[in-house]
Amino acid sequence: MTITDDTFKELMKRFASGVTLITFEDDGKYSGLTVSSFCSLSMNPPLILICIDKKIPSHNSLENGSSFGVNICNSEQGKLAWDFANSNVDKNELILSLNHEVTENKVPLLTDCLASMECTIKEAYEGGDHTIFVGQIEQGNFNEESEPLIYYKSGLGDFKPN
Ligand SMILES: Cc1cc2nc3c(=O)[nH]c(=O)nc-3n(C[C@H](O)[C@H](O)[C@H](O)COP(=O)(O)O)c2cc1C
Protein backbone atom coordinates (compact mmCIF):
# COMPACT_ATOMS: atom_id res chain seq x y z
CA MET A 1 0.00 0.00 0.00
CA THR A 2 1.28 3.46 -0.89
CA ILE A 3 0.33 6.28 1.45
CA THR A 4 -0.73 9.66 0.07
CA ASP A 5 1.41 12.81 0.38
CA ASP A 6 -1.19 14.22 2.79
CA THR A 7 -0.99 11.17 5.06
CA PHE A 8 2.81 11.32 4.98
CA LYS A 9 2.69 15.00 6.06
CA GLU A 10 0.12 14.27 8.80
CA LEU A 11 2.37 11.52 10.19
CA MET A 12 5.60 13.56 10.03
CA LYS A 13 4.15 16.76 11.51
CA ARG A 14 3.42 14.91 14.74
CA PHE A 15 7.14 14.49 15.35
CA ALA A 16 8.50 17.47 17.32
CA SER A 17 12.06 18.47 16.53
CA GLY A 18 14.61 21.15 17.12
CA VAL A 19 15.42 23.66 14.40
CA THR A 20 18.77 24.39 12.77
CA LEU A 21 20.05 27.00 10.35
CA ILE A 22 22.47 25.47 7.87
CA THR A 23 25.00 28.05 6.66
CA PHE A 24 27.63 27.87 3.95
CA GLU A 25 29.64 29.84 1.45
CA ASP A 26 29.01 29.46 -2.28
CA ASP A 27 30.78 31.40 -5.00
CA GLY A 28 31.86 34.22 -2.69
CA LYS A 29 28.45 34.66 -1.03
CA TYR A 30 27.00 33.30 2.17
CA SER A 31 23.79 31.33 2.06
CA GLY A 32 21.72 28.95 4.14
CA LEU A 33 18.39 27.38 4.93
CA THR A 34 16.27 26.19 7.83
CA VAL A 35 16.54 22.45 8.51
CA SER A 36 14.75 20.25 11.03
CA SER A 37 16.14 16.97 9.67
CA PHE A 38 19.39 17.40 11.62
CA CYS A 39 20.41 14.29 13.56
CA SER A 40 23.32 13.02 15.59
CA LEU A 41 24.87 10.02 13.80
CA SER A 42 28.16 8.92 15.43
CA MET A 43 30.40 10.05 18.31
CA ASN A 44 33.63 8.37 17.12
CA PRO A 45 34.09 9.84 14.57
CA PRO A 46 31.81 12.81 15.41
CA LEU A 47 29.20 12.67 12.62
CA ILE A 48 25.83 14.32 12.07
CA LEU A 49 23.39 14.16 9.16
CA ILE A 50 20.97 16.51 7.42
CA CYS A 51 18.40 15.60 4.73
CA ILE A 52 18.09 18.15 1.91
CA ASP A 53 15.39 18.42 -0.75
CA LYS A 54 16.90 17.83 -4.20
CA LYS A 55 14.64 20.54 -5.70
CA ILE A 56 15.94 23.54 -3.71
CA PRO A 57 18.91 25.76 -4.70
CA SER A 58 20.79 24.97 -1.46
CA HIS A 59 21.00 21.32 -2.53
CA ASN A 60 23.19 22.23 -5.46
CA SER A 61 25.46 24.35 -3.24
CA LEU A 62 25.89 21.55 -0.69
CA GLU A 63 26.44 18.95 -3.41
CA ASN A 64 29.26 21.04 -4.84
CA GLY A 65 30.59 22.26 -1.50
CA SER A 66 32.90 20.70 1.08
CA SER A 67 31.63 22.11 4.39
CA PHE A 68 28.68 23.75 6.13
CA GLY A 69 27.69 25.19 9.48
CA VAL A 70 24.91 23.87 11.73
CA ASN A 71 23.44 26.54 14.01
CA ILE A 72 20.85 25.29 16.52
CA CYS A 73 18.08 27.85 17.05
CA ASN A 74 17.15 29.22 20.45
CA SER A 75 13.55 30.04 21.42
CA GLU A 76 14.01 33.70 20.40
CA GLN A 77 14.92 32.83 16.81
CA GLY A 78 11.53 31.86 15.35
CA LYS A 79 11.43 34.77 12.91
CA LEU A 80 15.00 34.02 11.84
CA ALA A 81 14.03 30.39 11.14
CA TRP A 82 11.15 31.54 8.88
CA ASP A 83 13.51 33.97 7.11
CA PHE A 84 16.05 31.21 6.43
CA ALA A 85 13.18 29.08 5.05
CA ASN A 86 12.15 31.86 2.64
CA SER A 87 13.86 31.61 -0.74
CA ASN A 88 12.97 35.28 -1.45
CA VAL A 89 15.16 36.47 1.44
CA ASP A 90 18.76 37.42 0.55
CA LYS A 91 20.63 35.02 2.84
CA ASN A 92 24.00 36.69 2.22
CA GLU A 93 22.66 39.99 3.55
CA LEU A 94 20.82 38.21 6.34
CA ILE A 95 23.94 36.38 7.56
CA LEU A 96 26.05 39.54 7.33
CA SER A 97 23.43 41.34 9.47
CA LEU A 98 23.76 38.73 12.25
CA ASN A 99 26.56 38.21 14.77
CA HIS A 100 28.80 35.62 13.13
CA GLU A 101 32.33 34.35 12.75
CA VAL A 102 33.89 32.83 9.66
CA THR A 103 35.97 29.66 9.90
CA GLU A 104 39.20 28.97 7.98
CA ASN A 105 37.05 27.02 5.48
CA LYS A 106 34.89 30.15 4.94
CA VAL A 107 31.89 28.71 6.82
CA PRO A 108 29.82 31.41 8.58
CA LEU A 109 28.81 30.37 12.12
CA LEU A 110 26.03 32.30 13.88
CA THR A 111 27.35 33.14 17.32
CA ASP A 112 23.99 33.93 19.02
CA CYS A 113 22.53 30.44 18.50
CA LEU A 114 22.08 27.74 21.14
CA ALA A 115 25.04 25.95 19.56
CA SER A 116 26.95 26.20 16.29
CA MET A 117 29.36 23.80 14.63
CA GLU A 118 31.42 23.52 11.50
CA CYS A 119 31.08 20.28 9.53
CA THR A 120 33.05 18.79 6.66
CA ILE A 121 30.93 16.82 4.18
CA LYS A 122 32.01 13.16 4.31
CA GLU A 123 29.22 11.37 2.39
CA ALA A 124 26.09 12.08 0.37
CA TYR A 125 23.51 9.28 0.16
CA GLU A 126 20.38 8.97 -1.96
CA GLY A 127 17.21 9.33 0.11
CA GLY A 128 14.25 9.43 -2.28
CA ASP A 129 13.58 13.06 -3.19
CA HIS A 130 16.17 14.18 -0.60
CA THR A 131 19.94 13.69 -0.21
CA ILE A 132 21.37 12.67 3.15
CA PHE A 133 24.54 14.70 3.76
CA VAL A 134 26.83 13.30 6.44
CA GLY A 135 29.03 15.91 8.09
CA GLN A 136 31.98 15.49 10.45
CA ILE A 137 32.05 18.11 13.22
CA GLU A 138 35.36 19.96 13.12
CA GLN A 139 34.67 22.57 15.82
CA GLY A 140 31.73 23.82 17.85
CA ASN A 141 30.49 26.33 20.41
CA PHE A 142 27.47 26.27 22.68
CA ASN A 143 25.49 28.60 24.91
CA GLU A 144 24.64 27.38 28.44
CA GLU A 145 21.80 29.86 29.00
CA SER A 146 19.40 29.66 26.02
CA GLU A 147 16.30 27.49 25.53
CA PRO A 148 15.62 25.60 22.27
CA LEU A 149 13.21 26.46 19.44
CA ILE A 150 10.81 23.59 18.66
CA TYR A 151 9.09 22.71 15.35
CA TYR A 152 5.76 20.90 15.72
CA LYS A 153 2.64 20.69 13.50
CA SER A 154 4.06 23.32 11.11
CA GLY A 155 4.54 25.82 13.94
CA LEU A 156 7.56 27.07 15.88
CA GLY A 157 7.43 27.44 19.64
CA ASP A 158 8.96 26.85 23.06
CA PHE A 159 9.93 23.63 24.79
CA LYS A 160 7.89 22.96 27.95
CA PRO A 161 9.52 20.34 30.19
CA ASN A 162 7.26 18.28 32.50
C1 LIG B 1 11.04 24.45 10.42
C2 LIG B 1 11.52 24.11 9.02
C3 LIG B 1 12.27 22.97 8.81
C4 LIG B 1 12.75 22.64 7.52
N5 LIG B 1 13.51 21.53 7.36
C6 LIG B 1 14.01 21.22 6.13
C7 LIG B 1 14.82 20.07 5.96
O8 LIG B 1 15.11 19.32 6.89
N9 LIG B 1 15.31 19.82 4.71
C10 LIG B 1 15.02 20.62 3.64
O11 LIG B 1 15.48 20.34 2.51
N12 LIG B 1 14.23 21.73 3.78
C13 LIG B 1 13.74 22.04 5.00
N14 LIG B 1 12.95 23.16 5.16
C15 LIG B 1 12.64 23.98 3.98
C16 LIG B 1 13.79 24.92 3.58
O17 LIG B 1 14.23 25.70 4.68
C18 LIG B 1 13.29 25.86 2.45
O19 LIG B 1 12.94 25.07 1.33
C20 LIG B 1 14.31 26.91 2.04
O21 LIG B 1 13.64 27.90 1.27
C22 LIG B 1 15.41 26.39 1.17
O23 LIG B 1 16.30 27.47 0.89
P24 LIG B 1 16.78 27.76 -0.60
O25 LIG B 1 15.52 27.96 -1.41
O26 LIG B 1 17.60 29.01 -0.50
O27 LIG B 1 17.59 26.59 -1.03
C28 LIG B 1 12.45 23.49 6.43
C29 LIG B 1 11.67 24.64 6.64
C30 LIG B 1 11.21 24.95 7.92
C31 LIG B 1 10.38 26.19 8.13
Q: Whole-structure pTM over 0.75, yes or no? A: yes
- Tens digits of per-residue pLDDT, 57-76? 999 999 999 999 999 999 99
- Tens digits of per-residue pLDDT, 77-129? 999 999 999 999 999 999 999 999 999 999 999 999 999 999 999 999 999 99
What mean pLDDT is predicted for residues 12-18?
Answer: 98
DSSP labels for the chain?
-PPPHHHHHHHHTTS-EE-EEEEEEETTEEEEEEES--EEEETTTTEEEEEEETTSHHHHHHHH-SEEEEEEPBTT-HHHHHHHT-TTS-HHHHHHHS-EEE-TT--EEETTSSEEEEEEEEEEEEETTEEEEEEEEEEEEE-SS--BEEEETTEEEE----
Using most ligand atoms within 8 A of CB, pick from 34, 64, 75 the residue to mutate for ligand 1: 34
Angle, alpha carbons 148-79-82 (nearest 5°): 95
Q: Which atom of ligand 1 is nearest to the CA of 37?
A: 8
Using most ligand atoms within 8 A of CB, pick from 36, 55, 80, 92 the residue to mutate for ligand 1: 36
The CATH code for residues 17-158 is: 2.30.110.10
Looking at residue 106, what is its pLDDT?
Answer: 97
Q: Does the beta carbon of 85 sit less than 6 angstroms from any atom of ligand 1?
A: yes
CA distance 68 to 111: 15
Looking at residue 153, what is its pLDDT?
Answer: 97
Distance 107 CA to ligand 1 centre (A): 19
Q: Does the beta carbon of 73 sit less than 6 angstroms from any atom of ligand 1?
A: no
- Tens digits of per-residue pLDDT, 136-145? 999 999 999 8
Distance 86 CA to ligand 1 centre (A): 8
Q: Does the beta carbon of 92 sit less than 6 angstroms from any atom of ligand 1?
A: no
Looking at residue 7, what is its pLDDT?
Answer: 98
Q: Is the pLDDT of residue 1 over 90?
A: no
